[in-house]
Structure 1
Amino acid sequence: MGRALRPLLILFIVTVALLAYEDRVAIPSCNVVPGGGDFDEGHVHGEDRPGDLKVMMVANLMLLGSEAGYKNTLFRDQYLSKFFKKSSEILTPDLLLVLGDLSARGAELTISEWSSVLQQFHSLLGPFLGLPFQVILGDSDMGKCSGLNARSVRIARNFPGLDSAGCGAFKISNISFVSLNAVALLCGNNELRHSVEKAVEQESIELRMESKHMKDVVNESSEIRSPASEVGWRENAMSSGSGPVLLLHFPLHHTAKNHWRGNMKTSDSSCGSAKASESRGLIGAGPYALSQSLPKNATEYIFQALRPRIVFSAHTHKFCDHTHPDGTREITVPAMSWDARNDPGFVVATFRSSGKAVTVSHCLLARESDVLVVYISFVCVLILVNIWVNCTKHT
């Protein structure tokens, strides 16, 4: 009897070990990025200070909805679901932001197909559904420049705070956030661009009225001018960094004179110009090259109008920390999809209750290759145990 039970005991031990490993790899690994706030790594892991706002930012989830195969449904989705649960327990964020490319092929989907993507998204979020969250639209969600129109942002009505142009503005814990439809700003003439520029101007007016109590500034807004032709736009007396937290899918324009802190892992000084070859070349590459960023005139227009406190962007699939010439800090959130990177990640930003300091942490998930090796090993052990049991029965 003892000999017959030995294979089952081995299988039990291996199963317990697998479950323990699966639970462990679902825990994100976070490191504080120097600059923009106090270097306080313990603060990221739950030692909150009263009044601080902790925001978890993810991008490029590249969900497939009903098109997801068995590998995504049984393996990736299960892992991400555990990851979100662990992140909620350990990081205790107050807000979740998704910076575009929720879907891998959103621009090609029908309304019913989009519904399956949303269902997949909600099932992954788990405990985050009880938190405030906002989703902005990316190029994979909207499509190519030539096809941008009101229909391109039809999915926006499913997310809180987004208007018909795919823009949004909200305040939480006295921190103001503004999200812009960067896809429309990237493209030249399209039906959405004018609406996005109007949203930028309206937000700028409200910011100046709040900071200077100048209601007569509304009279200056009778004519809306495009940044493509009017780079100077209008004089804005607000100081740099006095505006809202800006959320975009595409990074802002970077000049050669700009300073890059670089990629934390490789110290890559060229991280602002990601190459398409860095993508794993699977789904979700999107209709735009990974090196794509907003044009110079659109970037200057945004800086002049909004004077953002800090900028968070995405699209390039990798983490980057960049300081613009006026001192504005821009964080590029990495892709959170194994289809884009073997080591996906995300960002946690903690906004201090006092002052304007922002502590940014770059977090990494487990490598897909490492997780797959363990699962394959488990299957091999299961096969060997089964062979052992059969051999035992015949002896």
Structure 2
Amino acid sequence: MIKRIKNVKLKRISKFVLCIIGLIFFCEYAIYYIVLIQCDWPSDSNMTPEQPIKVMFVADTHLLGTRKGHWLDKMRREWEMRQSFQTALNIHAPELVFVLGDLFDEGLWSSDLDFNSYVKTFKYLFSVPHTTKLYTVVGNHDIGFHYSIVPQLEKRFNKAFNTSPVELISKRNVHFVLINSMAMEMDGCFLCYSAELKLKKIANLLKCSEKSIACSKESMLNGTYSKPILLQHFPLYRKNDIDCNVVDSAPMKEKKKPFREGWDCLRKDATDKLLKMIKPRLVFGGHTHHGCHIKHTNGIDEFSVSSFSWRNKYNPNYLLATFTTDSYAVQICHMPFEYTIVMIYLTSIIFLFFKMLK
């Protein structure tokens, strides 16, 4: 009789342990696939027959450093971001991934030793297969706002991620221009001066290729011209977020808050000059931590990508976009809500506890 009771208790304990293991597996692995697989690549009925470029956009990962946040908070956020990103890669298999700035939360304050550690962590969390290329855009939390940037901080980031103040990335005749937003003050500082030189060179490449004018081979694009896509950390100049009405846009109180030029968005004169030189068909940015889709008066569509971290937003997400030389389509992909995972844990554990008592 005693032996039978022990066997029953052992079976119950074994079932309880198995249920806990299953619960952890579901909340830490399976739920990411269940949620993210519901999002698919967008398409446009007006797209040409050519094979579209598949691009994933991520912004404001804000990996925590040693100054802010608890170690447990840091560990949890990094786990959530890695699971979301790696699951998204497995499901969607993008050709290109662009991370639109503020990779780190404390990049500008960190020592070289800490910074190298943050870079190593980022490259682990956001590692990609050889079939995918990942490019980064620098943000103000990575090197500082314009007034506080020193050459050492900028060079350190550029070396770690093989970037420059202005870059041109082309794939199958779709062209992306990557901009350092903090270098767009146009005041002749060391950073702005070099950025403006590169910007003029890329603008000339685009102009020569667009008009097929007599230019040297070095002054022509490798491939056919198409209107470029502008990528940066800051949004273009706008007064506020009041016209942002997508599902992940800011709360109304934040929407009404005026944007400060050079802090919350690009300066107006820098925006005008950039649009005049590059003539983009589309703009992507981050920085605000909230989603936005607006059409500017000149007809250019601009998308702001939400923060990828649950620490900054309760409903973080990423964008999937497909591009051909003359068309595009964009889709918002939502990640699991953190409170959903917490509630699953709580209700399941309470249920199992009462089940054990019975």
TM-score by length of 1: 0.74
Secondary structure, counterpart of 1:300 in structure 2: helix
Give the 3 Å change call, closer, same or farther, for CA 289–369 of structure 1 in structure 2.
farther
Q: Does 1:264 align with 2:247?
A: yes
Asked whether the 8 Å contact 1:66–1:117 carries over to 2, the reply is no
Secondary structure, counterpart of 2:294 in structure 1: strand
Give the 3 Å change call, closer, same or farther, for CA 38–31 of structure 1 in structure 2.
farther
- The residue aligned with 2:265 is 293
Q: Does 1:52 align with 2:36?
A: no
- The residue aligned with 1:357 is 327
The answer for unaligned runs of 5 or more in structure 1 is 41-48, 218-240, 277-287
- The residue aligned with 1:328 is 300
**Alpha-carbon displacement from aligned partner over 1:269-317 (angstroms, at most 9, x marks no partner):** 99876679xxxxxxxxxxx899711111111101110100211111011
Give the 3 Å change call, closer, same or farther, for CA 108–366 of structure 1 in structure 2.
same
Compare 84-93 and 95-104 and name the one that shifted more.
84-93
Task: Report the residue type matching 1:361 in the other structure.
Answer: Q
Task: Report the residue type matching 1:339 in the other structure.
Answer: R
Asked whether the 8 Å contact 2:63–2:103 carries over to 1, the reply is yes
How many residue pairs get aligned? The number is 340
Secondary structure, counterpart of 2:190 in structure 1: coil
Asked whether the 8 Å contact 2:308–2:317 carries over to 1, the reply is yes
Asked whether the 8 Å contact 1:349–1:359 carries over to 2, the reply is yes
Task: Report the residue type matching 1:157 in the other structure.
Answer: K
List aligned pairs for 1:207-226, cutoff 5 A: 207-215=206-214
- The residue aligned with 1:7 is 13
Give the 3 Å change call, closer, same or farther, for CA 260–31 of structure 1 in structure 2.
farther
- The residue aligned with 1:156 is 158
Task: Report the residue type matching 1:61 in the other structure.
Answer: T
Task: Report the residue type matching 1:141 in the other structure.
Answer: D
Identity of aligned residues (%): 22
Secondary structure, counterpart of 2:168 in structure 1: strand
- The residue aligned with 2:197 is 198
CA–CA distance in 1 between the matches of 2:286 and 2:96? Answer: 17
Give the 3 Å change call, closer, same or farther, for CA 139–267 of structure 1 in structure 2.
closer
- The residue aligned with 2:231 is 247
Task: Report the residue type matching 1:175 in the other structure.
Answer: V
CA–CA distance in 1 between the matches of 2:129 and 2:309? Answer: 18
- The residue aligned with 1:233 is none
Task: Report the residue type matching 1:356 in the other structure.
Answer: D
Asked whether the 8 Å contact 1:321–1:329 carries over to 2, the reply is yes
List aligned pairs for 1:92-241, cutoff 5 A: 92-128=93-129, 131-154=132-155, 155-160=157-162, 162-163=163-164, 166-186=165-185, 190-215=189-214
- The residue aligned with 2:80 is 79
Secondary structure, counterpart of 2:126 in structure 1: helix
CA–CA distance in 1 between the matches of 2:253 and 2:226? Answer: 28
Asked whether the 8 Å contact 1:52–1:351 carries over to 2, the reply is yes
- The residue aligned with 1:44 is none
Give the 3 Å change call, closer, same or farther, for CA 356–188 of structure 1 in structure 2.
same
Task: Report the residue type matching 1:304 in the other structure.
Answer: K
Task: Report the residue type matching 1:15 in the other structure.
Answer: I
Equivalent in 20, 23, 27 of residue 17 of structure 1 = 23
Asked whether the 8 Å contact 2:60–2:101 carries over to 1, the reply is yes
- The residue aligned with 2:339 is 369
Secondary structure, counterpart of 2:230 in structure 1: strand
Secondary structure, counterpart of 1:10 in structure 2: helix
Secondary structure, counterpart of 2:61 in structure 1: coil
Task: Report the residue type matching 2:94 in the other structure.
Answer: P
Give the aligned CA root-mean-square deviation in angstroms: 3.7
List aligned pairs for 1:293-312, cutoff 5 A: 293-312=265-284
CA–CA distance in 1 between the matches of 2:253 and 2:215? Answer: 45
TM-score by length of 2: 0.81
**Alpha-carbon displacement from aligned partner over 1:19-56 (angstroms, at most 9, x marks no partner):** 1243333235466899x94499xxxxxxxx86211111
- The residue aligned with 1:236 is none
Q: CA deviation at 1:324?
A: 1.2
Compare 266-275 and 87-96 and name the one that shifted more.
266-275
Task: Report the residue type matching 1:109 in the other structure.
Answer: S
The answer for unaligned runs of 5 or more in structure 2 is 1-6, 217-224
Task: Report the residue type matching 1:201 in the other structure.
Answer: K
Give the 3 Å change call, closer, same or farther, for CA 199–193 of structure 1 in structure 2.
same
Q: CA deviation at 1:133?
A: 1.0
- The residue aligned with 1:228 is none
Secondary structure, counterpart of 1:26 in structure 2: helix
